[in-house]
Amino acid sequence: MKIYVDMDQCQHYGQCTFEAPTVFQLNDDGKLEYVGEVDAALAEQVEAAADVCPMQAITIEA
């Protein structure tokens, strides 16, 4: 599964990091970093992260 975060929309609130911490992290500067491609086993966590994103900046491709 591929993950894309529109960094122009992302405001680095970090809500996604609580839902899928192995995929999304905030770096030392408070900026979002993420893994662009993950195993389908993480689908539920990644979908939850996309749902809680206040800016709806996360897109998932199966």
Task: List the domains of the chain with CATH numbers.
Answer: 2-61 (3.30.70.20)
- Per-residue pLDDT of 11-59, as tens digits, reads 999 999 999 999 999 999 999 999 999 999 999 999 999 999 999 999 9
pTM as predicted: 0.94
DSSP secondary structure of the chain: -EEEE-TTT-----HHHHH-TTTEEE-TTS-EEE-SB--GGGHHHHHHHHHH-TT--EEEE-
Residue 15: what pLDDT?
98
Indicate whether 62 pLDDT > 90.
Answer: no
Q: Looking at residue 43, what is its pLDDT? A: 97
Q: How confident is the model at residue 5 (pLDDT cuts 50, 70, 90)?
A: very high
